[in-house]
Amino acid sequence: MGHFQLPGIPPRTCDDYWSEFRHCKSLWNRFHNYYAHGTSPSCGQWKEDYYSCREWEKNPGPETKESLQQSERNREAEQKKFTPVWDLRRDPPRDWHMPLHQGKSPDSQS
């Protein structure tokens, strides 16, 4: 994981897990997920992580810690599976300083 962790502190606050669970279950998010992916979102892991986080606060043990950290690693790996829609630039275009369509025909796609 790329985040600095103190030994007895969960990766996120427990309220973060609950907020993510509530957002996941929201009508808007379910609609968006169904529209974008054709399925309803799976929200159970957020709820499990919330309860694990609360357990960690009461009784910080290695099993609970590993469970939460593994869940975070799984989320990071899931995010890396998606390729960006746009190619990211390393430098600005050569003609970035020119007004739009300066010297280009209206039919030009570049």
The SS3 of residue 35 is helix
Look at residue 67 and tell me if it is in a domain.
yes
Look at residue 51 and tell me if it is in a domain.
yes
Q: Which amino acid appears at position 46 of this protein?
A: W
Look at residue 8 and tell me if it is in a domain.
no
Q: Count Cα atoms within 13 angstroms, Cβ side, for 10.
A: 24
d(CA 47, CA 28): 18
Over residues 37-53, the mean pLDDT reads 92
Domain count across the chain: 1
Whether the model clears a pTM of 0.85, i.e. scores above it, the answer is no
Look at residue 1 and tell me if it is in a domain.
no
Look at residue 38 and tell me if it is in a domain.
yes
pLDDT at position 19 is 96
Look at residue 72 and tell me if it is in a domain.
yes
Nearest to 72 by CA among 56, 95, 59, 85: 56
Reported as a pLDDT band with limits 50, 70 and 90, residue 4 is very low
Over residues 23-30, the mean pLDDT reads 95
Look at residue 9 and tell me if it is in a domain.
no
The SS3 of residue 5 is coil
pLDDT at position 6 is 45
pLDDT tens digits, one per residue of 74-110: 988 887 887 777 888 889 888 888 888 755 565 555 5
The boundaries of the domain holding residue 54 are 14-80
Look at residue 50 and tell me if it is in a domain.
yes
